[in-house]
Amino acid sequence: MIWQCVGAATLLGAAVLLDTDKDHDEVVKETANNLESKLPQNATLYVDHIDREYQNPRSAFDDLDNAPEQHIRDVVVKSGQKNSHIIEVESGNSIEQNDSEAKSQIEDFSIPEYLRVLVVPDADFDAVHVAEFEEQLDTELDGEYYVATPQGVIDLLD
């Protein structure tokens, strides 16, 4: 009976772990789906990593001289009326294991008139390592950035 309880606890722990570490591409897709339904008519959505009919983020800044070249954006919202966004999606594990890469990307995505947004899965939003990463960004990054969940990113459209 004890082994059955231990086995059940292990399975439950594995299920929680899998649920809290969503695949990067799933979070990109969830973010894009949430944004798509709330975009102003004149906005363009660029999305990388998923197989849909979105424009590629590599072409989002063809008209800018100072466009970030080192990193590919996960999601870009281009809008002439409301805020435009450059969105980087990171899982809690990727922040915990290699926060310097995430920081480098957010740093590289500094373009006037664009909000820089780090999107993390809901389950990781309040995690200690994500909070520590935010503190690190606060001290090391120039300019503003925002941290949101795939659903919460739509609040930044206003």
CATH architecture for residues 22-157: 3-Layer(aba) Sandwich (3.40)
Domain boundaries, the chain: 22-157
- H-helix segments, 37-151: 92-97, 99-108, 128-140
Show the tokens assigned to 119.
């999107």
- pLDDT at 4 exceeding the cut of 50: no
Note the pLDDT tens digit of each residue in 49-108.
Answer: 887 788 888 888 877 776 767 788 899 999 876 579 999 999 888 888 888 888 999 998
Tokens representing 126 are: 């309040």
In angstroms, the CA 143 to CA 79 distance is 20
Q: How confident is the model at residue 19 (pLDDT cuts 50, 70, 90)?
A: very low
Residue 115, pLDDT score:
92
Between helices 128-140 and 99-108, what is the axis angle to 10°? 40
Q: What is the mean pLDDT of residues 39-46?
A: 89
Q: What is the pLDDT of residues 50-63, one digit of tens each?
A: 877 888 888 888 77
Name the more confident of 30 and 6: 30
Residue 17 has pLDDT above 60, yes or no: no
Whether the pTM exceeds 0.85: the reply is: no
The predicted-structure confidence for 124-146, as pLDDT tens digits, reads as follows: 888 888 999 999 999 999 889 99
Give the span between the Cα atoms of 70 and 132, in whole angstroms: 25
Please state, in angstroms and rounded to a whole number, the distance separating the CA atoms of residues 93 and 109.
Answer: 21
- In 3-state terms, what secondary structure has residue 90? coil
